[in-house]
Amino acid sequence: MKKNIYVGMITILLVTLITTTSEAAERKKWGIGVIAGQPSGFTLKYMLNDISAIDAGVGWSTSGDDEFSAYGDYLYHIYDLFGAAKGQLPLYFGAGLSYTKRDTRDDKFGVRIPIGVEYLFKKVPLGAFVEVVPVLNVTPDTDFDMQGGIGIRFFF
């Protein structure tokens, strides 16, 4: 079932790419896409202004455990740190919350510190990103996890 969801999401993104003719210089506020990593699933981003955003996602564990995760982050973007010949390549970082529902053990609740880069294409409304996310779990025990992955979002 997970593979069908991923194939459907990628198909929607590709069809949208093929039919998009607008210049993406004026960035749109909403981004929706997929992320592969820990967790793997869907991602949503809303740009509050040019430098700050709210990011959220839901996904499943890739480690074989029956885990469902949800997260929400506030992100701050720095655009002039890295140069890109075409498009933009902002560094972003922020803070957020994470919840993981586990079937065989106690659920986890934690604080996320996402750090990543996102390549914003010039001619199409897409952003490809990679991020690492240290997580300080506060329940059921205080410990550290590592989340993150690579993904792509369509902006509209």
Say how far apart CA 50 and CA 53 lie, in whole Å.
8
Domain 2-155: give its CATH code. Answer: 2.40.160.20
- Alpha carbon separation from 34 to 80, 128, 137 (Å, rounded): 26, 10, 24
| Omega of the bond leading into 114 within 30 degrees of 0 (cis) | no
Longest dimension (CA), the chain: 50
Could you tell me the residue ranges of all domains in the chain?
2-155
CA 30 to chain centroid:
12
- For residue range 105-145, list pLDDT tens digits in order: 899 999 999 999 999 999 899 999 999 999 999 999 999 99
Tokens 């990679």: give the residue.
Answer: 130
Contact 152, 12 (CB under 8 A): no
Distance, first Cα to last Cα, the chain: 27
Contact 89, 119 (CB under 8 A): yes
Question: Residue-wise pLDDT tens for the chain (156 aa)?
Answer: 555 555 555 555 555 544 444 444 466 899 999 999 999 999 999 999 999 999 999 999 877 677 999 999 999 999 988 878 888 999 999 999 999 998 888 999 999 999 999 999 998 999 999 999 999 999 999 999 999 999 999 999
pLDDT of residue 29: 95
pLDDT of residue 26: 62
pTM of the predicted model as reported, rounded to 2 decimal places:
0.81
Residue 78 DSSP SS3: strand
